[in-house]
Amino acid sequence: MIFKLLVAYQLKHFLCDFPLQGRYMLGKFKGGTEWILPLAAHASVHALGTFLIALCVKPHLAASLALLDFFAHFLMDRVKASPKMLGRYKPDQKAYWLALGADQAWHHLTHYFIIYCLMTGV
């Protein structure tokens, strides 16, 4: 079961970050307050993916784990994308790749925690 969940969350992460992330959602890189709704839309897609997976395993935890995923994704992606935070770095800088790696590690650790909750019923 754990292996199936790891695969499911890896596929969910890929689908939500690439095929399902449209041009509008890339507005999360904007400054001011224009980033809030595009980022919320992107984090909502991730939350929906978690909700659907959790619904198949522990339905009573699906909503709370989806909310956890929403907030974890929203927070990390804002730190990564904000022009005043990690988003100020460009691909030719080492800091850009460290920020991207930290972003991906955060998302995977969030998924591992969600899987832990699903397996233990916490």
| More confident site: 40 or 26 | 40
Tokens at 85, concatenated: 């935070």
Confidence class for position 32, pLDDT limits 50, 70, 90: confident
- Residue 32 is part of which domain span? 2-120
Cα separation, 71 vs 20, whole angstroms: 18
Rounded to the nearest integer, the mean pLDDT of the chain is: 95
pLDDT band at 111 (very low <50, low <70, confident <90, very high): very high
66 burial type by CB count under 10 A (0-12 exposed, 13-18 middle, 19+ buried): buried
Looking at residue 25, its pLDDT comes to 92
- Predicted confidence (pLDDT) per residue in 56-90, tens digit: 999 999 999 999 999 999 999 999 988 889 989 99
Query: Is residue 4 scored above 90 in pLDDT?
Result: yes
Average pLDDT over residues 90-112: 95
* pLDDT of the residue at 2: 95
